[in-house]
Amino acid sequence: MPTESNAPSLVGDEYEVEVGPVAHGGHCVARTEEGRVLFVRHALPGERVVARITEGEADSRFLRADAVKILDASKDRVEAPCPYAGPGMCGGCDWQHAKPGAQRRLKGEVVAEQLQRLAGLTPEQAGWDGTVVPAPGDKLPAGEVPAWRTRVQYAIDEDGRAGLRKHRSHDVQPVDHCMIAAPGVDELGVEGRDWPGIATVEAIAATGSADRQVVLTPRPGGRLPLVELDKPVSVLRVEERDGGVHRVHGRDFVRERADDRTYRVGAGGFWQVHTQAPQMLVDAVMQGLLPRKGDTALDLYCGVGLFAGAIAERVGDTGAVLGIESGKRAAEDAVHNLREMPRVRIEHGKVDQVLPRTRITETDLIVLDPPRAGAGRKTVAHLTTLGARRIAYVACDPAALARDLAYFKEGGYKPRTLRVFDLFPMTHHVECVAILEPVAKGR
């Protein structure tokens, strides 16, 4: 087991530094005069700042810091529109202090660096023109913030006030308005009331319907308060005993819509949080795969069946789709959502365990949307043996994508195209869709 360091803490120490390139995770890299590496938040490349250490000891490999004073500002810097964005405050948004165009450029630089470092691919080799595409309507002037987030989990402080976690901390920053929350979340009024005895409140505002949902997690031994909001809202409770989500009143799901289909998303089920992300990603995957009538396809980590449904519509009655999902409730929702499609089958379980049991030896198309850690070498190696004409990889983490692209290369697949979408404005996150195809023999 690792032992705690006895080296003195450097938290609170300040260094005047020249800020270097952006790095994955919402910070930039800098070095002190002694050569110490700092990961600095609230800074921009090329700036000169005073960086205050927030994590690290004298023998740490690197230190984390906040830029608490800007000595020489970048032309890309703006005053953060959100009053809760800045050193020591809310940790949700990484780039409030950067112009929107600069945010997308920084994200593009991160994706390019991860591709080169972990997959040995240049943007050109990955089939990417280097642009990061915003959702329609998100391309706003500096100082304006798109309200895009349809699911917000608020932390509740000891006084019962709703807020958001500080960066890499359990501490709560109370807020009276989250600027990136979608209007439907704002309408629930979570921030404007007290929540005694509650640890977290998740507010969900479906975009495919008028469904609204609040999921309450009481503190240990806490009692569920009477919830009276201005409009009909479903209320669920996370049980302290088993961690399960239980309906208090209303539906235990919300209805979302994409690709002209309605999807039931139950408590704990995954659905993209940006209002326009589901449709944008379906379009990107379908444009990349180009399904044909009669094709067979795999939808791995299929969630509630978003991509499985889209593919099934296109392969027709002579095609077939198998979806695999590890979440029990999500798999049940997928079965429900695609119940009118007899050529779709949903299996519940982990992909690396279920896929070998299916004894599938070939398929025409594959789409995978793995969790943040990626699919991994074992799963990728299996997929490369199935002879798919094209594979669509949807990724929320560029490092995991790059690692898996390297594994696909080992199995004889290369990127045909890569598209990068800014579906998490003001944060460091991006969404990528890579379309892979077999490497031509002799190349």
Distance CA 400, CA 379 (A): 13
**Distance between CA 430 and CA 422 in Å, rounded?**
5
- Give which of 100, 128, 96 is closest to 26, Cα–Cα: 96
Alpha carbon distance 79, 93 (integer Å): 14
Nearest to 61 by CA among 23, 35, 87, 33: 35
Give Cα 197 to chain centroid, integer Å.
29
Q: How far apart (Å, rounded) are the C-alpha atoms in residues 212 and 202?
A: 11
The identity of residue 128, as a single letter, is: W
CA–CA separation, 333 vs 45, rounded Å? 45
DSSP per-residue string spanning 30-42: EE-TT--EEEEES
Other beta carbons within 10 angstroms of residue 183's beta carbon come to 10
Q: Which SS3 state, helix, strand or coil, does residue 15 take? A: strand
| Spatial separation of the C-alpha atoms in residues 214 and 209, rounded to whole Å | 15
Q: What is the DSSP string of 324-345?
A: EES-HHHHHHHHHHTTT-TTEE
Residue 14, both tokens: 């300040």
Sign for the CA dihedral angle at 121, 126, 131, 133 comes to negative
Neighbours of 141 (CB within 10 A): 8
Token digits for 339?
A: 């119940």
Pairing mode, strands 37-41 and 27-31: antiparallel
216 token code pair: 């309450």
8 Å CB contact between 324 and 299: yes
331 and 346 Cβ atoms separated by less than 8 Å:
yes
Q: Which residue has the tokens 């002694």?
A: 34
Phi, psi angle pair for 324, to nearest 5°:
-125, 130
Cβ neighbours of residue 3 under 8 Å, at least 6 residues apart? none
Instruction: List, by residue number, the catalytic residues.
Output: 396
Cβ–Cβ < 8 Å for 276, 259: no
